[in-house]
Amino acid sequence: MTRVSVDDDNRIAVLSPHWKSWAEAAIRQMAPGWQDMTASLGSLQDTLAGAVPPEDVVEEATVLMERARALLEPYEVSGSEQIFGRLLTSATRGQTFSPPLWVDRYEDDELAATTRFGRFHAGNNGVVHGGAIALMFDDALGVTSDLGGRERSRTASLKVDFRSLTPLDRVLEVRVRLTHLDGRKRTLHGTLSDGGRVCAEATGLFIELRPEQQ
Ligand SMILES: CCCCCCCCCCCCCC(=O)SCCNC(=O)CCNC(=O)[C@H](O)C(C)(C)COP(=O)(O)OP(=O)(O)OC[C@H]1O[C@@H](n2cnc3c(N)ncnc32)[C@H](O)[C@@H]1OP(=O)(O)O
């Protein structure tokens, strides 16, 4: 894979016109500090998931979280206006739902990135929840499906094979390749690895949307 430098401008430059304007509309509305706020929420989720606090701390934390919620509530907007998840130039996309995807290199049909799952995405036994792995793959394969200026697509199916346990709090490698193109149908394959060990792999079918499809 050819190394492509990945800075903000470069990443947005490869987006199709739809994704470019979708991301730029969100960026225009974004107050300075938005990314710090969502990063703070992400660490809060991880810290809360891993903590066993005493009653007084539970009470105080609940009050503080409720204060933050009440502070934000008057600024609620429709789904089409929200910023959360639309910052395509950022590894987190300005959201905390799926884990970050730090893109190292990309081509029209390949992506090399790293990710990391925190305590928020833990299942049991101190390893990553399988659903969180599927979530990460949906994002990574979805982004790769729409690289190279291709029209936007949507996941029709996603199959995940869990090959070995996925550790928490480690930087893991993500590789995705577009393996087959058949009209509107795009098949993508991805792997999630810890060093040389494959933790999971996924195959996804993405369908290019027709102009009238939302
Ligand atoms: C750099 C880029 C950045 C981008 C960032 C993005 C944000 C981040 C990424 C976030 C990513 C998150 C992404 C998400 O989470 S997307 C959210 C989860 N996905 C959905 O909700 C999708 C729901 N389904 C649909 O909307 C429709 O079914 C779609 C649009 C998918 C197809 O309905 P449509 O009416 O348009 O097409 P069609 O039914 O005529 O089918 C067309 C062809 O496809 C074949 N087919 C269909 N389904 C399947 C199947 N399951 N297995 C095997 N084959 C299947 C079908 O047989 C036919 O083949 P053929 O007969 O022509 O040979």
Tokens of 195: 């060093």
pLDDT at 214: 76
Grouping H, G, I as helix, E, B as strand and the rest as coil, residue 27 is: helix
Q: Is the CB of 204 under 6 A from ligand 1?
A: no
| C-alpha of residue 103 to centroid of ligand 1, in Å | 24
Top pLDDT among 143 and 10 is at 143
- Ligand 1 atom nearest residue 207's Cα: 31
Q: Whose CA is nearest to atom 17 of ligand 1?
A: 155
- The helix/strand/coil state of 37 is helix
**pLDDT (tens digit, 9 = 90+) per residue, 92-138?**
999 999 999 999 889 899 999 999 999 999 998 899 999 999 999 99
Question: Ligand 1, closest atom to CA 11?
Answer: 1
Report how far residue 198's alpha carbon sits from residue 133's, in angstroms, rounded to the nearest whole number: 13
> How far apart, in whole angstroms, are the C-alpha atoms of residue 112 and residue 50?
30
Domains along the chain with CATH numbers: 8-27+79-208 (3.10.129.10)
Q: State yes or no: pLDDT of 10 exceeds 90.
A: no
Task: Decide: 180 in ligand 1 pocket, CB within 6 A.
Answer: no
Ligand 1 mean position to 155 CA, how many Å?
4
For ligand 1, atom 19: residue with the closest CA: 155
Q: Which of 17-26, 54-63, 197-206 has the weakest average pLDDT? A: 17-26
The reported pLDDT for the residue numbered 18 is 86
**206 CA → ligand 1 middle, Å:** 5
- The span from the CA of 26 to the CA of 82, in Å, is 7
Specify the pLDDT at position 5. 42
Percent of the chain past pLDDT 90, that is, above it, reads 82
* Cβ atoms of residues 168 and 127 within 8 Å: yes
* Cβ count near 68 (within 10 Å): 14
70-98 CB burial, b ≥16 within 10 A, e <16: eeeeeeeeeeeeebebbbbbbbbbbbbeb
1 within 8 A of 107, measured Cβ to Cβ: yes
Residue 185 Cα, ligand 1 centroid: separation in angstroms? 8
Residue 20, pLDDT score: 87
pLDDT at position 13 is: 60
Report CA(211)–ligand 1 centroid distance (Å).
14
Identify the DSSP state of 153.
Answer: E
Instruction: Please report the pLDDT score of residue 202 as a whole number.
Output: 98
23 CB near ligand 1 (under 6 Å): no
Which whole number is the average pLDDT over 165-192?
Answer: 98
pLDDT number for residue 4: 43
DSSP three-state, residue 158: strand
Question: Which two tokens mark 142?
Answer: 């979805």
pLDDT tens, position by position, 33-91:
999 999 999 999 999 999 999 999 999 999 999 999 999 999 999 999 999 999 988 88
Confidence of residue 16 (pLDDT cuts 50, 70, 90): confident
Residue indicated by tokens 């225009």: 28
**Does the beta carbon of 185 lie inside 6 Å of ligand 1?**
yes
Looking at residue 11, its pLDDT comes to: 58
Please indicate whether residue 147, judged by its CB atom, sits closer than 6 Å to ligand 1.
yes
Q: Which atom of ligand 1 is nearest to the CA of 154?
A: 16
DSSP-H helix ranges across 50-197: 55-72, 130-145
Strand ranges of the sheet holding 153-162, from the earlier edge strand across to the other edge: 102-106, 110-115, 172-182, 185-194, 197-208, 153-162
